[in-house]
Amino acid sequence: MVFMNSGIRKIALIFVFSFVFLSFGLVYWQVIRADTMLDNPANRRAVLLEKRIKRGGIYDRNGIVLAQTKQTEKGRVREYPQKDMFQPLLGYATLQYGSTGLEAAEAANLLGMKEKSLVRKIQNTFELPREGNDLILTLDTRLQEVAYQKLKGRAGAVVALDPRNGEVLVLLSQPSFDGNTIVADWNEVVNSKGSPMLNHAFAKYPPGSIMKVVTSVAIFRSGFDTTDLYHCQGTTVINGQTIIEQNHKAHGWVNYDLALAYSCNNYFAEYGVKTGDKSFLQAAAGFGFGQSIPFDIEIPRSSITRDDPLPDKLNLNLFAASTFGQGQVMVSPFHMALITAGVANKGKIMTPHLIDRVLDSQQNIIYNSKPEVWLEALSVEEAEKIKDAMVLAVNQGTAAPGAIPGVQIAAKTGSAEPGGDQNTHAWYIAFAPADNPIIALAVLVENGGTGGGAAAPIAKAVIEKALELKEGGNQ
């Protein structure tokens, strides 16, 4: 029969298209929006799922417990045996206030939802995981403890890395809170001074003189002879802007090495500006400015100007100030530790990682980290030159307070002006031993004064401990 076949065919076509359209709706919710829907505050899915599952534990590199879930008569309790030492990095996972930090970023792992193999996936489809996966971190509690004891009572951050592979050894932020009692202490913590909830290692600060490491690369690449002498008179005027040395000190005749060792602003401003803004911005880009750092937790991008993390050009006055880390340059202590690690590792910045292994509830390894290069920031020769200057800074320059008898370290200080009448932020970046580094770190003490005075002793203590542990064969 052929009465109305074309009519039926058209209807059939309409239905085919409508059903295809319907399947786009499913793709939209189940693939594209799946994550954002889980974050919706009205969605109790995560909480209800969590109630059924025992959250996995978090351990340091030597198996020391940082977080674990214990079964008590009152139900499951999340314990943080190290109290406030690893906060706010670990964060919390509560029914009342949701979750933050590593507890939130690694929720899929800790709740056992992340499966690598298809077989495990299929198994989990028919059997809910009752226990989450354990995280073994790269952190070393013994080093963290040293940093914690030294920084306690002040605001700031300490980040230490193994420059050879990007393992994060110390990630300290102060002040912090006790994860065990966060629910009870909530109002007090939220309203207390110094932002205990904020991870200071990921917050951005003006870098001050430690930025000269970045400027150095621009100077090398512009073909200046770094043995040329420059006469520092304590002040210089660039484009009508007066550049002043700290404490108005005139450094006299300096070459590049001495300029870095003495932290001579005039040298870096004069030579830096001569290299041109393009060259400076290129060096900064090479070190990861304006880029997001590949890491388990999101870290704000370090930026050269307020409006654009990595602009195409800089006006001269801002540029001159940027060469020694003032102006609008902002960088996180975590990024600064990475830059230091790059110099220590002959120019290669390794991708930082915090998670060494993930074990499922039967203790099978389901994830194992492996070292990867993040950026090739500078050449071996450039890294060598900066290292030599940083060694000089320790031996006869501003970084001397960090010196360790018997071991050569390389370091650089920074005293960054936060603006206003506040005391300067104290920075200290270092790696050791200078020729064969096993640790690279950045210390920041908020409004701590000078880098050599406030930050160097903390770095020194952490490095000493790291070297001592290495002697013992533990690292």
Partner 1 sequence: MLNSFSLRFLTLAIFWIGLLVLKLINMLESHFLPLAVVFSVLILLGTALEIFLGYAGDRYLLSVAETLLAIGLVLLIRINPSLAEDQFIWANLGLVVFYIVLFGLRDYRKLEQYQYIWGLAALVLLLITLLFGVNIHGATSWIKIGSRSFQPEELVKVVLLLFMSAYLNNNQELLRVGTIQVGRISLPDRKTLGPFAFICLIVLALLAAQKSLGTALVFFLLMVFIVYMVTERLFYLVTSVPLVVLMGTAGYILFDHVKIRVATWLNPWLDSTGGGFQIAQSIFAISGGRLLGTGLGNGIGAYQIPLAESDFIFSVMAEELGFFGAMAVITLFLVLVLRALAIGIKASDRFGQILASGIGILIGLEVLIILAGVTKMLPLTGLPLPWVSYGGSSLIIHFLLLGLVTNISHNSAFSMSGVRVGKRVGIYE
Structure tokens at 251: 């450094």
Q: Minimum Å distance from CB 105 to partner 1?
A: 19
Give 234: exposed, middle or buried? Use CB within 10 Å, 0-12, 13-18, 19+.
middle
Contact between 306 and partner 1 by CB under 8 A: the answer reads: no
CA distance 400 to 413: 9
Strands (E), 113-189: 134-137, 156-162, 167-174
Region from 40-48, 195-203, 400-408, 440-448 binding partner 1, contact rule CB under 8 A:
40-48
Contact between 95 and partner 1 by CB under 8 A: the answer reads: no
Contact between 48 and partner 1 by CB under 8 A: the answer reads: yes
Contact between 253 and partner 1 by CB under 8 A: the answer reads: no
Q: Minimum Å distance from CB 116 to partner 1?
A: 14
CA distance 237 to 221: 24
Contact between 108 and partner 1 by CB under 8 A: the answer reads: no
> Which of 74, 119, 126, 242 contacts partner 1 by CB under 8 A?
126
Q: Which residues are catalytic?
A: 209
Establish how many alpha carbons lie within 13 A of residue 227's alpha carbon, considering only the half-sphere containing its beta carbon. 0
CA distances from 351 to 102, 316, 370, 373 (A): 18, 33, 10, 6
Q: Minimum Å distance from CB 127 to partner 1?
A: 7
> Which of 11, 95, 316, 373 contacts partner 1 by CB under 8 A?
11
| Residues binding partner 1: number (CB under 8 A) | 42
DSSP class of residue 398?
T
Q: Minimum Å distance from CB 54 to partner 1?
A: 16
Region from 3-11, 403-411, 433-441, 448-456 binding partner 1, contact rule CB under 8 A:
3-11
Contact between 43 and partner 1 by CB under 8 A: the answer reads: yes
* Positions in 128-187 near partner 1 (CB under 8 A): 128
CA distances from 366 to 40, 356, 465 (A): 29, 11, 32
Region from 123-131, 174-182, 244-252, 297-305 binding partner 1, contact rule CB under 8 A:
123-131
Q: Minimum Å distance from CB 114 to partner 1?
A: 12
DSSP H stretches of helix in 70-181? 101-105, 107-110, 118-126, 141-151
Contact 217, 286 (CB under 8 A): yes
Contact between 97 and partner 1 by CB under 8 A: the answer reads: no
Residue 30 or 149 having the CB closest to partner 1: 30
Contact between 40 and partner 1 by CB under 8 A: the answer reads: yes
Region from 35-43, 132-140, 319-327, 374-382 binding partner 1, contact rule CB under 8 A:
35-43
Contact between 121 and partner 1 by CB under 8 A: the answer reads: yes
> If DSSP codes are grouped into helix, strand and coil, which group holds residue 444?
strand
Beta bridge partners of residue 237, listed in sequence order: 242
Contact between 33 and partner 1 by CB under 8 A: the answer reads: yes
426 Cβ contact list (under 8 Å, min separation 6):
156, 413, 414, 415, 443, 444, 445, 448, 449, 450, 451, 453, 454, 455
Q: Minimum Å distance from CB 366 to partner 1?
A: 18
Binding site for partner 1 (CB under 8 A): 1, 3-12, 14-16, 18-19, 21-23, 25-27, 29-31, 33-34, 37-38, 40, 42-45, 48-49, 121, 124-128
